[in-house]
Structure 1
Amino acid sequence: MTDAPAGGGAPGEPGRCHRPHLPQRPIWLCRSCAAEWPCLTARTLLPIEYVADPTALHVYLATMLQAAIDDLHRLNPEPGPDPQRLYARFLGWVKPRLEITRNRFGTGADGNRRRSRTTCAPPPGCALAGECRMLRWLSEG
């Protein structure tokens, strides 16, 4: 998600790379798909990226949540961002998605492997399957 050369373009296009699904501040929309960040793609890729360190994912997203609250409050101070909605958007999805990712990759809560690496597969419809370093590492086992 963080290593994308300039140029953008559709995934799989020769000589071009996908645009990373990162937030566009201060409006907190995805730079790639314009959905509220973290978008569905970011919610799929972040747990894969942080599968070995879920605490770091929580810290990262909590930091992003605080920055979003600050930015969105500056843009619209009255009535301001809804804290419950922002919590659900940034952190409410993490625990169930991490469980799904751990089961898919065969890791426990501590990040240690429970089964062979060769049983891992990308999520259905994942456009980044061939480019994902984590999936490549898991399959090379």
Structure 2
Amino acid sequence: MDGQWMPTSSGPCALRAVMEGLGPGTVLLDPAAPPSAADTSLSLLVVEQACASGQAATDRVTVSVDETDDEVRLVVGVRGVEGGADCQGNPPTPVVVELDQPLGERTIVDAARLPAIEVPVAPGSAG
């Protein structure tokens, strides 16, 4: 239209914290190993958001864990693949993080999202 700007789509704008040099990842609880109050580790599934030619992010995931009395706050970053990559989607990558103390009644949150949200269980079921 003769040099005029016009919107073609719109949607929510969600702020995200990022780890320097790493791309974003979606963090989910592994449905095959749901957390319990006595657990001192969490079984997560991380889905890389950047193009990675459908490869799992094995050995490329970094998880920052901040424990408070009420929450276990997670920030996930993924180091990109070397070279170019296709964008057909990426599989979830299993990651285990250790806690300083048992989970108890604390909420597990994705603190990379602003505001932080409770980490959901990945779709699917154990077995």
TM-score in terms of structure 2 length: 0.28
More strand by share: 2
- TM-score normalized by the length of structure 1: 0.26
